[in-house]
Each structure stands twice: as structure tokens, then as C-alpha cells.
């Protein structure tokens, strides 16, 4: 078995959990390959006892990997997607941060959960991905022109609203006067879109949600469309440019640039333990049912 490991090491006491992970893998017939920058960070921490002089590193992945371990929070998982891309390698999110909504393993249960995964006691949760292209095509977004959570347009260098002309399957929907607009997958429905009033969508649902950010017209509500739809956005405003973000990656586009958003031809596989589910995660992470009256 070959396992890639990636992390950003932003969280307090992360070295404790990394040590637990490495100890668990050392007792199995596992080839460990660590992302090169992450290994440099690990080597700076003397609290981690393993000697990494013989450990391989990667800067890019290929299809020889059986699993990909993402150590950190949801942001680290989103960054991991840029390594995995369309290779289909299952991602194991190991939460060493706070919420960790997308994570497979919580830091309090690392050893037990890793044993289950290495024994093959898990299922794969297929997650849809959005891809974008721009007209004209010299936007600089490629080749990482995809997002697991959402594509969002936001105002830049101004407090003034922007106008987002929105089309669905080449049919005019509306022009949102707002701080921006989010186009999210079901996976992303519990992220930025949710904080802007969007609905929670089960990851197995074949849909996309369009959520305005602080719209001027209070009648502008989130809209769910089939994920077979093509969504086109044309942004204008007082400034000459605006921001487009794909998960955590941001680029600047000139006004009148058209963004075309579609479902990508590939999916991302997130590892899910057999006794976990999206419904269970909602209760645990979003504290559904925590009202003392229930």
C-alpha cells in the first residue's frame, strides 16, 4: 500500500497527532510518501521522533497511490484536491483543527480510525466538482480551474456593490446587485454558501446552489439548479476588476470577463468510515438537536 501525506501544520499540537499517524503506519506494510514542503516543516519539529532520512517525497501525484492523507482542517482538504485532481485517489481527512466538517478522522480517534481504514473498513463518498472557463481565455486561472466547494465572485478594492449578470443554460436568470455571488456544490453548501443563507444539500444530490452575497434586493434568494446546468456570470462595477475564488485560490479578472461554470467530468473521493454519515455529521458538527428543549 502506498500512501501520500500532506499537511500545512497550522494547528497547535499538530506534531502530537502526526506522531500518532506515523506510528500507526510504521506497524503496517505501508510505503509513506510525504509532500516535500510538509516534510521540511516536520523536520523542524524535534518532538516528532521518526527519522525521515529515507522517506520519499512528492511534489506531484500519480495513480500509484492507494490513499492520500490530508492532515489539518477543511482548508487542507481543499488544498489536497489540487494534488489529487482527476486521479481518483481517495482522500482521508484527518482533522487536527477546529470544525473539520469534511474530515474522515477526528484527532481524538486517530489510532482506532486509522486501523479501520488500513483494514479496508470504509466506503467512498463521491463528491462532485465545479470547473470554470473564462472568455476571453487569458485569465490565468488554468490549470487549477476547478473547485470542490464553490466558485465565488466578489468585489475588489471597493465598498460598492457589483452587478453579476447570471445566465442558466444561456437563459437570463437575473442581475444580482450584491457584494458577490457563490456557486456551490452540495459539498460546498455547508461552507461559504451556508454562511450567506444558502441551504444545506446532501452530497448525493445532483445539484448546484446559486447564493448571492449580501444582495441589495432582499427578494434575491438562493436557487438550486440541476448540476447538468451551465451557469454563466458577467460582472461589472465601479472598479475595473473583481475577484474570483475557487475554494481557497483567488484570481483577479477584468470587468466584463464572462465566467462559465459547469460540473467537472471527474469527482473527488472522500473516505468515510462505515459508521459515519452526512446526517450524523450534521448533528455532530452543526450541533443539530442541541436545543435543550429537544
- What is the rounded CA–CA span in Å between residue 92 and residue 102? 9
**Cα 215 from Cα 57, distance rounded (Å):** 46
8 A C-beta contact, residue 127 and residue 138: no
Contact of 151 with 210, CB cutoff 8 Å: no
Supply φ then ψ for residue 255, to 5 degrees: -55, 150
| Helical (H) or strand (E) element with 257 | none
Cell numbers 454558501 correspond to 193
> Catalytic amino acids?
74
CB 266 within 8 A of CB 156: no
DSSP three-state, residue 45: coil
CA separation for the pair 19, 32 (Å, rounded): 13
N residues, the chain: 294
Q: Edge-to-edge strand order for the sheet containing 150-154?
A: 223-226, 207-213, 180-184, 150-154, 241-246, 249-254
Q: Number of H helices and number of E strands within the chain?
A: 6, 18
Q: In this structure, what C-alpha cell is assigned to residue 195?
A: 454562511
Amino acid at each position: 500500500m502506498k500512501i501520500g501525506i500532506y499537511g500545512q501544520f497550522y494547528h497547535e499540537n499538530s506534531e502530537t497527532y502526526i506522531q500518532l499517524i506515523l506510528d500507526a503506519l510504521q506497524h503496517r506494510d505501508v510505503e509513506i510518501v510525504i509532500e516535500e514542503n510538509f516534510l521540511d516543516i516536520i523536520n523542524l519539529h524535534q518532538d516528532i521522533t521518526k527519522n525521515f532520512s529515507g522517506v520519499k517525497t512528492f511534489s506531484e501525484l500519480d495513480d500509484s497511490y492507494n490513499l492520500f492523507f490530508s492532515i489539518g482542517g477543511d482548508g487542507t482538504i481543499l488544498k489536497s484536491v489540487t494534488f489529487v485532481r482527476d486521479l481518483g485517489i481517495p482522500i482521508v481527512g484527518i482533522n487536527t483543527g477546529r470544525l473539520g466538517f469534511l474530515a474522515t478522522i477526528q484527532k481524538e480517534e486517530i489510532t482506532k480510525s486509522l486501523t479501520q481504514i488500513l483494514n479496508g473498513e470504509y466506503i467512498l463518498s463521491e463528491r462532485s466538482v465545479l470547473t470554470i472557463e473564462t472568455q476571453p481565455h487569458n485569465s490565468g486561472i488554468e490549470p487549477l480551474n476547478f473547485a470542490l466547494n464553490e466558485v465565488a465572485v466578489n468585489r475588489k478594492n471597493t465598498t460598492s456593490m457589483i452587478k453579476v449578470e447570471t445566465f442558466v443554460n444561456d437563459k437570463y436568470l437575473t442581475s444580482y446587485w450584491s457584494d458577490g455571488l457563490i456557486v456551490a456544490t452540495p459539498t460546498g453548501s455547508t461552507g461559504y454558501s451556508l454562511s450567506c443563507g444558502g441551504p444545506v444539500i446532501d452530497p448525493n444530490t445532483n445539484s448546484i446552489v446559486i447564493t448571492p452575497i449580501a444582495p441589495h434586493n432582499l427578494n434575491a434568494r438562493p436557487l438550486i439548479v440541476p448540476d447538468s446546468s451551465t451557469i454563466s456570470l458577467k460582472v461589472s462595477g465601479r472598479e475595473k476588476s473583481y475577484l474570483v475564488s475557487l475554494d481557497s485560490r483567488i484570481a483577479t479578472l477584468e470587468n466584463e470577463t464572462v465566467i462559465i461554470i459547469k460540473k467537472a467530468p471527474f469527482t473527488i473521493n472522500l473516505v468515510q468510515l462505515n459508521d459515519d454519515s452526512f446526517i450524523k455529521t450534521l448533528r455532530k458538527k452543526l450541533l443539530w438537536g442541541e436545543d435543550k428543549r429537544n
